[in-house]
Amino acid sequence: MDYRKHFRVEPGRRIRLAERDASDTGKHGSRKDADPEIQKYVQRMDELQYLLFADGNQSLLIVLQGLDAAGKDGTIRHLFTGMDPQGTLVASFKQPSKEELAHDFLWRAHLRAPSKGQVVIFNRSHYEDVLVVRVHNLVPQSVWSKRYALINDFENMLRRNGTHVLKFYLHISPEEQLKRFKKRLEDRSRQWKISESDYLERELWPKYAAAYEDVFAETSMDHAPWYIIPSNHKWFRNLAISQIIARTMDEIGLKLPPTHVDIADIRRRYHAAEDGERESS
Amino acid sequence: MDYRKHFRVEPGRRIRLAERDASDTGKHGSRKDADPEIQKYVQRMDELQYLLFADGNQSLLIVLQGLDAAGKDGTIRHLFTGMDPQGTLVASFKQPSKEELAHDFLWRAHLRAPSKGQVVIFNRSHYEDVLVVRVHNLVPQSVWSKRYALINDFENMLRRNGTHVLKFYLHISPEEQLKRFKKRLEDRSRQWKISESDYLERELWPKYAAAYEDVFAETSMDHAPWYIIPSNHKWFRNLAISQIIARTMDEIGLKLPPTHVDIADIRRRYHAAEDGERESS
């Protein structure tokens, strides 16, 4: 099954999150079933990251969005730990600093955009400025409602400079979120992460859903598509995302650059001489 | 064998690189022998990285230095690919940009220093300013010779802010370097990396050795030690470095922070209520 087609939001199409099954697992019955495929895609992503780095003309920006406990950190941990950290960066967008707030909302995202050859993962992103900002009325509607167009222009500019933008919404159900919160409550190594606000935000679920639905309708573009990934099952989330990334990278025409030097000449000049030296010594 | 003791340069001690065996493999006979231990240390580094991140009071700066083909990229690939990219960053120091050159030599290193909770790997570093810069006479001796003290002050300041600094010199022999260059010449996927200057630099080996020997004598500190790692055998290099990092991190007293909230209270207030709701629905 090609999850690029299956979970992509067609540009301009309005979808309803409530109608999307967060427990969907495509054609896969179980984690055991999916694991070999995940491994294959993760391995391929790693090979393609090397090629992206070597090629040096394009880059990849992966945006991860989702409510608390949707699995953003886990996705990074499971899918990108296998990539060479030398070419792979994670940028986490938390509450903006004073300096960031003193600029336009895209400034801090632009600073962290990938340079050529790089893979950058945004853990949350500039989309928070039409999500949490909207839900909590941090700026008036007249301001945030103009931001979709600004985001599209921004991503279009990145694309024109060789950056492929892939945006993933990790879709979980309210029941699954509660289950994960409970698990954290029991896990000593993760209790320190819990804050009262996790629970307060939960009550705003319908407002977040509406805000996300507008995001998808306004900003899913051919050159920067949104994918809505059923994420109640972590293994399926990993499968779908790794497949989409691997297949996308497979098709962007990456290739090794030509050599800068005359290999035959180097072989002759340096190695023949040194071999000779050693043999006679 | 505790490689922290074995390969550490004692502060103030002058060593001669020519007397260090680059093919040393400690007590290990072969890669097969060492692999389970490497795996164990890499796994432990990963656990400790999580703890470092959670603890949030300390950080780790790993400096990798070595001549061309000494294995800096390979070390990063083999030892740090297993760490969560969300808390692990690589900073590569290449030829400085115009902006960097317009500042003092430590400026660009300081910019990339780890924030609390982070692991940062320097692939080359501020030490290039007393190595390549010295060997090629890019600044006069009166300038570079003052830099050791500036480097010590800088690393001391980092240490006082909770940063542990570990510095590794990947020690290979000239014969091993030549072997690796030849391998690159035969490997289509790596030929693009070869430049004429690799071969020209090779002729400066004795000058680099002298510059490194001064670096070790002047800047190996208890709070920021240099380790000279025999690196002709990649597997042994991986073993020694991963052991040194894991054991160092094991001893710096990392711990999970306390929870910010009253877990029992949350359990009672939110979950009891929601469980009740669901049961009655």
- ipTM value of the model? 0.81
Per-residue pLDDT band for A281 (boundaries 50, 70, 90) equals: very low
CA distances from B70 to B79, B135, B229, B231, B233 (A): 15, 18, 10, 7, 10
Angstrom distance (rounded) from CA A135 to CA A213: 13
Region of residue B124 (phi > 0: left; psi between -120 and 50: alpha; otherwise: beta): left
Angstrom distance (rounded) from CA A21 to CA A240: 14
Tens digit of each residue's pLDDT (9 = 90 or more) over B78-112: 999 889 999 999 999 999 999 999 999 999 999 99
Angstrom distance (rounded) from CA B127 to CA B138: 14
Record: contact B54-A81, CB cut-off 8 A: no
**Residue B272 sits at the chain A interface (C-beta within 8 Å):** no
**Number of C-alpha atoms within 13 angstroms, CB side, residue B212?**
26
End-to-end, the C-alpha distance of chain A in Å comes to 63
Judged against a pLDDT cut of 90, whether residue A120 lies above it is answered with yes
Record: contact A76-B85, CB cut-off 8 A: yes
Statement: the pTM of the whole predicted model exceeds 0.90 = no
Angstrom distance (rounded) from CA B57 to CA B118: 10
Q: Are B24 and B236 in contact (CB under 8 A)?
A: yes
Record: contact A123-B86, CB cut-off 8 A: yes
Specify the CATH number for the domain of residue A104.
Answer: 3.40.50.300
Best A83, A89, A270 member to test B by mutation, with max B CBs in 10 Å, is: A270
Q: Quick one: pLDDT at residue B265?
A: 83
Mean pLDDT across B147-153: 97
Tokens of A148: 């979709």
Residue of B nearest to A202 (CA): B270
Judged against a pLDDT cut of 80, whether residue A85 lies above it is answered with yes
Q: Are B224 and B165 in contact (CB under 8 A)?
A: yes
Judged against a pLDDT cut of 90, whether residue B158 lies above it is answered with yes
Record: contact B261-A194, CB cut-off 8 A: yes
Per-residue pLDDT band for B280 (boundaries 50, 70, 90) equals: very low
Tens digit of each residue's pLDDT (9 = 90 or more) over A182-193: 898 888 888 888
**Residue B76 sits at the chain A interface (C-beta within 8 Å):** yes
Higher pLDDT, residue B262 or A15: A15
Number of domains in chain A: 1
Cβ contacts of residue A216 below 8 Å, gap of 6+?
A: A9, A13, A14, A15, A169, A226, A228
End-to-end, the C-alpha distance of chain B in Å comes to 63
Tens digit of each residue's pLDDT (9 = 90 or more) over A131-182: 999 999 999 999 999 999 999 999 999 999 999 999 999 999 999 999 999 8
Q: Chain A: nearest CA to B129, how far in angstroms?
A: 22
Which domain does A118 fall in, by range? Answer: 3-280
